[in-house]
Amino acid sequence: MKVFIIFIALLIANVTFISYQGDLNRYVRLQTYLKAVAEEAAAGAALYYDEVAYSHGSMVINREEGQKYIEHLLTRVGQTLDLKEGESLNAGIEILDDSNGAADPGISPAVTVTLHLTVTDLFRLPFLTKEQVVRSAKYELADY
């Protein structure tokens, strides 16, 4: 009986450890992936600019086109992550350009994207809970 109890204890410890390791690796990969997506979203949104304002010497990011691009990106990422009902991926966008403060010397136009991923628990172990992953990236147009 003693041997059996020790065996069960070792089995539970091992299963717990393997489960934790797998979930943690997945969590780390998810963070890396979302960071890359946030960078992609910020860099992509910063590509679209107001041509009329630019002809007057101002760099103004085209918010409407940038928003469309980020929404397209989020839709694709949602499909890749296979988000279930109740899970969501949202983006917060902050744009700094010549229309709202970047006209001052030393400040570059920039787009900051913050992704909020809400999922059902990433860890299968009952005593660990992680339901939100937040990653942010900033793309700066340094030469303007």
Partner 1 sequence: MKQLIVLAAILPLMLIFMAQFTLEQKNSAIINALQQQVYTAKEEAKQEGCFTSAITEQLKSNIHTKLGVPEQDILVVATETPQYRINYFDPAGERGMIHYSVSVPIAKIMAGGKLLGIPSEQNKGVYTIEGTTASEKLPD
- Give the nearest distance from C-beta 68 to partner 1 in angstroms: 4
Q: Using the rule CB under 8 A, give the single segment among 6-14, 83-91, 122-130, 133-141 that binds partner 1.
A: 6-14
Could you count the other beta carbons within 10 Å of the beta carbon of residue 141?
A: 17
Name residue 135's beta-bridge partners.
115
What is the rounded distance in angstroms from the CA atom of residue 11 to the CA atom of residue 17?
A: 10
**Residues whose CB falls within 8 Å of the CB of residue 58, separated by 6 or more in sequence, listed in order:** 50, 97, 98, 99, 103
Q: Does 47 bind partner 1 (CB under 8 A)?
A: yes
Q: Does 68 bind partner 1 (CB under 8 A)?
A: yes
What is the rounded distance in angstroms from the CA atom of residue 118 to the CA atom of residue 50?
A: 34
- Give the nearest distance from C-beta 83 to partner 1 in angstroms: 16
Among 53, 65, 87, 138, binds partner 1 (CB under 8 A): 65
What is the rounded distance in angstroms from the CA atom of residue 140 to the CA atom of residue 54?
A: 17
Residues that bind partner 1 (CB under 8 A): 3, 7, 10-11, 14-15, 17-18, 21-22, 25, 28-29, 32-33, 36-37, 40, 43-44, 47-49, 51, 62, 65-66, 68-69, 72-73, 76, 80
